[in-house]
Structure 1
């Protein structure tokens, strides 16, 4: 097991901020592409693996690390990949039944699942003021999507899919929090992205989505999705989850709608509405309160207790 108290080479909270900024580009690139949603998700992960493989030349130790992975770690990585693939598929599918705002708001409820999972699997307890900040940020998400929130009929089915997507991505982060104490970020990312890619390709083949024949621009957006929100977003979060727990990661991701709204204003010319503006400020205030009063990153301060070590997954 790697030393979870070793000091990170880069400030983890700054890395969290940069990762969330990168993830905020996701919706922009998805909106610019005209390919089917499952295909977008598939090539986002396939291209991520393709871009990661050349790095093995400078990180040859990862090959041995992957080969020596025990069965339990392979099973957990497979489950993690299944959770990540399910998250993308459920979220994209929910958009066929409910509004973008409704779906995004429900997906951002993942901190609630993180609070529960962190407590049961890692024995983590959230300080009252930090919990207040977390709930405040979630309220901000609802403020952003309230005017477009749909209830009833097929919209309700879409809302259920989005909420399930929030649960599955939380499972992905919880597994990452545990296994990153044993496995390097590069090895974990390469294995999980590869497994996720295989699952998504199988999904496309079973449902009859063609893997070729898309416009040239779409292939460019697939590449951008792999480079920015995945490799510079999710991969950074996979690295810092060794020092920041799932709850903190999930709270940081609540800032994604704020970043996306800002980017949409400059790139797509979309107008920032009053609910988006107010909700964004509430989200940022909630995130600040959570990070300010939650336990600090492992290995950053010597005299603070580190995040609880994995119990029930061990």
Structure 2
């Protein structure tokens, strides 16, 4: 149960990224935002990994999955998400991000042979419906006018890369801790991005809100959230962890209410309850009935 709570907290942290991301994209490029947040996060992670793991360098056999984590989760997902925010609304980005659990389930099935039970599939669909209710604010008919533009396609690419990131994380954390995986995926990601970012590096209006938003994405949305996510991947698996991403739009709506004065409608509260029901159906395991002989063997004499 405690790992599920960590994954809910991860979702809250990432919801803040959707709110700050739309703001940051007006100050610099999506590549620079990704590079800068991870560079700051890596500096903060170095002492953490040294204290917890008592070592910094990963074993050689972990380098390939760590490089895949860097390419998919650090670079591709963030780059395509921020790029999508340039071409479509944050609501659309939040709606498409609800497909993340499905992308993780598909990738986990292909590469890890993780299978879903009918109860889990039902929970995933119920939760997805709840997300749609939250994002559309109960106006389900508006989906008929949903416009598929370049921003939507970019976000779909981001969703696909996140499924691959979850799988790469499972392989990497066979050899390194969740802290080490987060650090080295970030370091490799920054090294990969710098040659492309430096020639076109530019900023607009480097004010206090900009640096405050960058620090949030680096500390809360990257260091804390990625460590908690990798712990969840390591402890409960990619498919189960993925279902908790459906809380992202809910927390995004709550933060928009608290920080930007947006209203929360009754339909969004109903949608939230549907999401919670779907996640519970997916994640909570039924206890296996014990056979009479097994009960006798466990009872004290």
TM-score range, shorter chain: 0.7 to 0.9
2:72 alignment partner in structure 1: 83
CA–CA separation in structure 2 for the residues paired with 1:201 and 1:171? 22
With over 3 angstroms needed to count, the CA separation of the structure-2 counterparts of 1:32 and 1:103, relative to structure 1, is: closer
Q: Deviations over 1:23-75 (max 9, x none)?
A: 22222333444423513322221111111123255246222x42xx22x4212
TM-score, reference length from structure 2: 0.83
Residue of 58, 67, 83 corresponding to 2:51 = 58
1:169 alignment partner in structure 2: 162
Q: Which has the higher helix share?
A: 2
Kept in 2, the 8 Å contact 1:114–1:250? The answer is yes
Residue of 75, 81, 88 corresponding to 1:98 = 88
Q: Which has the larger radius of gyration?
A: 2
With over 3 angstroms needed to count, the CA separation of the structure-2 counterparts of 1:127 and 1:202, relative to structure 1, is: same
CA–CA separation in structure 2 for the residues paired with 1:211 and 1:195? 24
1:35 alignment partner in structure 2: 27
1:264 alignment partner in structure 2: 256
Unaligned runs of 5+ in 1: 1-9, 296-314
2:269 alignment partner in structure 1: 277
Q: Give 1:202 deviation, angstroms.
A: 3.4
2:4 alignment partner in structure 1: 13
SS in 1 for 2:262: coil
CA–CA separation in structure 1 for the residues paired with 2:10 and 2:48? 20
CA–CA separation in structure 2 for the residues paired with 1:95 and 1:276? 22
SS in 1 for 2:116: coil
SS in 2 for 1:24: helix
CA–CA separation in structure 1 for the residues paired with 2:133 and 2:43? 39
Counting matched residue pairs gives 280
Kept in 2, the 8 Å contact 1:133–1:287? The answer is yes
With over 3 angstroms needed to count, the CA separation of the structure-2 counterparts of 1:119 and 1:144, relative to structure 1, is: same
2:62 alignment partner in structure 1: 73
CA–CA separation in structure 2 for the residues paired with 1:36 and 1:80? 24
With over 3 angstroms needed to count, the CA separation of the structure-2 counterparts of 1:151 and 1:56, relative to structure 1, is: closer
Unaligned runs of 5+ in 2: 288-301
Q: Give 1:230 deviation, angstroms.
A: 1.4
Q: Give 1:271 deviation, angstroms.
A: 0.9
Q: Deviations over 1:75-101 (max 9, x none)?
A: 221121110211111111122222222
With over 3 angstroms needed to count, the CA separation of the structure-2 counterparts of 1:137 and 1:193, relative to structure 1, is: same
2:290 alignment partner in structure 1: none
With over 3 angstroms needed to count, the CA separation of the structure-2 counterparts of 1:252 and 1:37, relative to structure 1, is: farther
With over 3 angstroms needed to count, the CA separation of the structure-2 counterparts of 1:60 and 1:116, relative to structure 1, is: closer
CA–CA separation in structure 2 for the residues paired with 1:142 and 1:212? 35
218-227 or 10-19, which deviates more: 10-19
Kept in 2, the 8 Å contact 1:134–1:286? The answer is yes
Kept in 1, the 8 Å contact 2:27–2:203? The answer is no
Q: Give 1:212 deviation, angstroms.
A: 8.3
SS in 2 for 1:126: coil
With over 3 angstroms needed to count, the CA separation of the structure-2 counterparts of 1:258 and 1:151, relative to structure 1, is: closer
Residue of 149, 152, 159 corresponding to 1:159 = 152
2:293 alignment partner in structure 1: none
Kept in 1, the 8 Å contact 2:19–2:252? The answer is yes
Residue of 234, 243, 254 corresponding to 1:242 = 234
